[in-house]
């Protein structure tokens, strides 16, 4: 299951994120999304857990939990919607 993790402190790295979620099961990937120009964290990331039961437990336990003095937003990731930016005149 792909899990969205929001409101991350900018100093949290992928190792920190993986460590938090590994308390609930096997983590196959932990990714912090960064600005492509500055390399700075955008304050959110994604964690992939293969076992849905473990993933759901992690979501339930970590949504609203505090990490580095920030209250996390944790939920199942949704597919990215594509936008049609073409304007009609």
Whether 27 is in a domain gets the answer yes
- pTM for the predicted model, two decimal places: 0.87
Tens-digit pLDDT profile for residues 1-52: 999 999 999 999 999 999 999 999 999 999 999 999 999 999 999 999 999 9
CATH of the domain at 34: 3.30.70.330
Does pLDDT of 76 surpass 70?
yes
Asked whether residue 82 is domain-assigned, the answer is no
Strand partners of residue 56: none
- Is residue 34 included in any domain, yes or no? yes
Nearest to 2 by CA among 29, 20, 22, 24: 29
* Residue 44 included in any domain: yes
What is the number of domains present in the chain?
1
Which residue segment(s) compose the domain that 50 sits in? Answer: 2-76
Residue 86 pLDDT exceeds 70: no
């Amino acid at each position: 299951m792909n899990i969205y993790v929001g409101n991350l402190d900018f100093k949290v790295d992928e190792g920190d994120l993986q460590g938090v979620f590994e308390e609930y099961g096997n983590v196959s990937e932990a990714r912090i999304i960064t600005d492509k120009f500055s390399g700075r964290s955008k304050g959110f990331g994604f964690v992939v857990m293969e076992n849905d039961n473990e993933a759901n437990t992690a979501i339930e336990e970590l949504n609203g939990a505090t990490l580095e003095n920030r209250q996390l937003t944790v939920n199942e990731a949704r597919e990215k919607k594509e936008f049609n930016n073409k304007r009609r005149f």
